[in-house]
Homo-oligomer: A and B are copies of this chain.
Amino acid sequence: MRIRNMSNEWRWTRQRRKVLETLGSRRDHPTAEDVYRDLRAQGEQVSLATVYRTLRSLEQEELARTLHGAGADRFDACIDPHYHLSCDKCGRTVDVPVAYHRPLDEAARQSGFEIRGHSLIFFGRCPRCTDEEA
């Protein structure tokens, strides 16, 4: 896990640790509700409000990022630039082994915007939903 913002003192409360732990342990990218349900299922005492607050603060510390799509936001504990793949049908979102394409950012700078990077999401059907289709 990458350490940043050492100047910021965060209290590593049980809830905060557990939220990050849960997010990091999943290979997909859960919604806040998913994280909340996982934690409750493990018997952790936590509220949905705290999950949201924690996720947003992890985002500020660059320990997590938000993925926007149809429906609820999803969260990713890996902030290194990479792409995602999202199923139109079930919403399941996972990493995809396609390298981040930096030249695109260069090209976009010609627009006059101050570009920080880009987010790319492939859409289509996951194998599970493709099968169910048949």
Q: Which residues of A contact B (CB under 8 A)?
A: 66, 68-70, 83, 85, 87-88, 96-98, 101, 104-105, 107-108, 110-127, 130
Which B residues lie within 8 Å of A115 (CB)?
85, 122-124
6 A–B contacts from the bound complex (CB under 8 Å):
A83-B108, A87-B113, A96-B113, A101-B104, A113-B126, A117-B124
Distance, CA A88 to CA B68, complexed state (A) = 13
The listed residue (B117, B122, B125, B130) touching A118 by CB distance below 8 A is B122
For A120, list chain B residues within 8 Å (CB).
104, 118-121
Q: When the two chains form their complex, are residues A125 and B121 in contact, meaning their CB atoms are under 8 A apart?
A: no
Q: What chain B residues lie within 8 Å of A101 (beta carbons)? A: 101, 104
A130 and B110 contacting across the interface, CB-CB below 8 Å:
no
Q: Which residue of B lies closest to A66 (CB)?
A: B70
Which of B87, B112, B123 sits near A119, CB closer than 8 Å? B123
Q: Which residues of B contact A98 (CB under 8 A)?
A: 104, 107-108
Which residues in B have their C-beta under 8 angstroms from that of A97? 110-111
- Measured between alpha carbons, how far is A116 from B115 in the docked complex, in Å? 27
Please, which residues of chain B bring their CB within 8 A of the CB of A116? Answer: 88, 123-125
